[in-house]
């Protein structure tokens, strides 16, 4: 099997001395894994950064066999944010979600375009707020619509606060997820938003599929607490 496509690098792991096992989300083939031979060479290593977009030429002996990629850089995305620790935590957390929660070899151009959108979001001043809506969009695209307005209930405590109550706990809903406004949003609001989605992920996706809570996500949330 042979095809060409464009893909955004989701993960990479060293394999043998000079090769790397990689995972891409591609425009026309969905999430795909394979080997890049010679990935330790200076030419390839420099642009083989998670989040970068590459032109891919994929070859395998059959549909069921593990294939290999030949790659060329198309767009540098991640290195722009190397000096921004929180942005890098976000990129790692977001792309890890895409890797964990999408199906191998199943085309979804909407997810591909959403991953593209991530990097334009990160260029904005209020990207923390937009990123939480990005996660909600991603959940919808994989068939899990967290309709915050539907489940959130306002408490009559004089503070204009919203919560979602489950059988086990009460979860704070930041006001900006109800109002869709970015006014007066602070770090605690962002933490509450990320924690709300984390609880949904843990209950509906991570635990049912025996997925450990991703350390990339924990580092990203913890950075807002520091």
| CATH superfamily of this structure's domain 2-79 | Nucleic acid-binding proteins (2.40.50.140)
Q: Which residue's structure tokens are 């899990």?
A: 144
Q: pLDDT, tens digit, for every residue of 53-103? A: 999 999 988 777 789 999 999 999 999 999 999 999 999 999 999 999 999
| Residues of the chain where predicted confidence (pLDDT) is lower than 70 | 157-158
Question: Which part of the chain has CATH 2.40.50.140?
Answer: 2-79
Q: At 210, list the tokens.
A: 């025996």
Number of H helices, E strands in the chain: 8, 8
Q: Which residues contact 185 (CB under 8 A, 6 or more apart)?
A: 126, 128, 129, 174, 176
Please, which residues have CB within 8 angstroms of residue 202's CB and are 6 or more apart in sequence?
213
Distance in angstroms (rounded) separating the CA atoms of residues 90 and 131? 9
Distances from the Cα of 63 to the Cα of 2, 27, 39, 60, 173, angstroms = 10, 18, 23, 7, 45
Predicted confidence at residue 40, as pLDDT, reads: 85
């Amino acid at each position: 099997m042979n095809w060409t496509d464009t893909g955004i690098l989701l993960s990479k792991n060293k394999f043998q001395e000079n090769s790397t096992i990689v995972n891409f989300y591609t425009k026309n083939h969905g999430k795909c894994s394979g080997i890049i031979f010679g990935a330790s060479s200076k030419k390839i290593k420099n642009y083989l950064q998670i989040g970068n977009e590459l032109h891919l030429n994929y070859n395998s002996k059959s549909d069921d066999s593990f294939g290999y990629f030949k790659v060329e850089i198309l767009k540098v995305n991640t290195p722009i944010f190397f000096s921004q620790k929180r942005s890098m935590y976000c990129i790692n957390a977001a792309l890890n979600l895409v890797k964990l929660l999408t199906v191998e070899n199943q085309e979804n151009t909407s997810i591909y375009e959403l991953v593209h959108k991530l990097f334009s979001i990160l260029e904005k001043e209020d990207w923390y707020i937009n990123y939480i809506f990005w996660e909600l969009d991603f959940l919808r695209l994989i068939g899990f619509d967290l309709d915050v307005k539907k489940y959130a209930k306002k408490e009559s405590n004089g503070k204009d606060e919203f919560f979602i109550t489950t059988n086990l706990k009460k979860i704070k809903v930041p006001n900006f997820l109800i109002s869709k406004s970015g006014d007066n949003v602070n770090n605690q609001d962002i933490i509450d938003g990320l924690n709300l989605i984390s609880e949904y992920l843990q209950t509906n996706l991570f635990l049912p599929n025996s997925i450990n809570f991703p350390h990339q996500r924990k580092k990203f949330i913890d950075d807002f607490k520091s």
